[in-house]
């Protein structure tokens, strides 16, 4: 099971290879430790509830989930998207109780990894560092998200979200060039950028009219990547992909397109 490129590895492994330059030896170890019982959640179902103390570490393997918080009066704010390869609750090793909930945004497959498997991974310094780096990047994404909601207008914020998802999907091998599956609701989008569903709708119209994207039937196509990034002010440095971008470009079937991010 030796491979030269990123291709063929499961999402989590791809992510760690891009992010932390994991070698094939460590990669194989990660791949070996991560399986567990698979559970399915349909759109809208909680994967982990607020206040809960999960017994396993959960990893998304297909579909799309989100972290979110609910206010008393029903307002909702999504604080992160979890795509295949993302761990839901590594922090429960230390924090005990969830201070937010996680739900499926589409039909989603989750693996319940036994804690001792994760502990075995953490015992290897290179892997522990890689996992730790990935949580630090999650933190950087949160900061960027605050900027998005606090200081960007509606179209900018949505555009930025799309740029980020595009790149993250590419990392785990789930983007087909410039199109990605994103079968979520405009209300969901609103809850992630702090807008009303109807305003999301109008903003999307805008982006479409400008020829930047198309979004239909749960497929997001980025028609003009450079334009979208310009509008959004998207600077991918906060994802700390560093030379992971180069690896990505090299292993891709369309190096020219991914190469754009190298600029």
Site residues (vs DNA, CB under 7 A)? 43, 153-155, 185-187, 190, 194-199, 201-205
Q: Is 262 in the site for its own copies (CB under 8 A)?
A: no
Does position 40 bind its own copies by CB under 8 A?
A: no
Spatial strand order of the sheet with 101-104 comes to 46-48, 101-104, 65-70, 76-82
Q: Cα–Cα distances in Å, from 15 out to 171, 185, 221, 262?
A: 6, 26, 22, 17
Contact 213, 207 (CB under 8 A): yes
124 lines the binding site for its own copies (CB under 8 A): no
Check residue 94 for interaction with its own copies (CB under 8 A).
yes
Helix (H) or strand (E) holding 59: strand 57-62
> Which listed option, its own copies, DNA, none, makes contact with residue 67 (CB within 5 to 8 Å by class)?
its own copies
Distance CA 164, CA 169 (A): 8
Binding partner selected for residue 201 from its own copies, DNA, none, CB under the kind-specific 5 to 8 Å limit = DNA
Q: Pattern of binders to its own copies over 126-145, x per CB under 8 A?
A: ---x--xx-xxxxxx-xxxx
Smallest CA-to-CA distance from 81 within 108, 121, 112 is with 108
Each as own residue / partner, the long-range contacts of residues 209-216 (CB below 8 Å, 24 or more positions apart, any chain) are 212/159, 213/162, 215/182
Taking the complex as a whole, the smallest distance from the CB of residue 105 to DNA amounts, in Å, to 10
Nearer to its own copies (CB atom), residue 108 or residue 134: 134
Question: Which of its own copies, DNA, none is residue 187 near (CB under 5 to 8 Å by kind)?
Answer: DNA
Question: Does position 219 bind its own copies by CB under 8 A?
Answer: no
| Cα dihedral 49/55/57/61 (nearest 10) | -70
Q: How far is the CB of 152 from DNA (least distance, A)?
A: 8
* Closest to 160 (Cα-Cα) out of 144, 173, 171: 144
Contact positions vs its own copies (CB under 8 A)? 51, 67, 69, 71-72, 75-77, 79-80, 91, 94-97, 99-100, 129, 132-133, 135-140, 142-147, 149-152, 191, 193-194, 233, 237-238, 240, 242
């Amino acid at each position: 099971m030796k491979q030269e490129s990123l291709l063929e590895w499961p999402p989590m492994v791809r992510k760690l290879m891009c992010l932390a330059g994991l070698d094939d030896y460590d990669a194989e170890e990660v791949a070996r430790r991560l399986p567990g019982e698979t559970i399915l959640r349909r759109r809208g179902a909680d994967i982990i509830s607020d206040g809960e103390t999960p017994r396993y570490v959960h990893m998304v393997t297909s579909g799309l989930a989100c972290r979110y918080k609910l206010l008393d009066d029903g307002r909702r704010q999504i604080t992160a998207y979890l795509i295949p390869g993302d761990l839901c609750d590594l922090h429960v090793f230390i924090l005990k109780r969830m201070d937010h909930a996680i739900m499926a945004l589409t039909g989603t497959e989750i693996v319940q990894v036994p804690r001792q498997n994760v502990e075995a991974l953490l015992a290897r310094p290179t892997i522990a560092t890689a996992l730790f780096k990935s949580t630090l990047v999650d933190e950087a994404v949160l900061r960027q998200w605050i900027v998005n909601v606090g200081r960007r207008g509606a179209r900018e914020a949505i555009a930025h979200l799309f740029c980020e998802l595009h790149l993250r999907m590419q990392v785990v091998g789930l983007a087909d060039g410039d199109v990605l599956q994103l079968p979520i609701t405009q209300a969901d989008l609103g809850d992630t950028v702090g807008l009303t569903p109807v305003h999301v709708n109008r903003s999307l119209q805008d982006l479409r009219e400008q020829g930047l994207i198309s979004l239909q039937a749960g497929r997001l196509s980025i028609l003009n990547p450079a334009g979208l990034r310009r509008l959004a002010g998207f600077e991918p440095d906060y994802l700390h992909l560093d030379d992971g971008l180069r690896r990505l470009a090299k292993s891709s079937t369309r190096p020219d397109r991914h190469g754009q991010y190298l600029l």
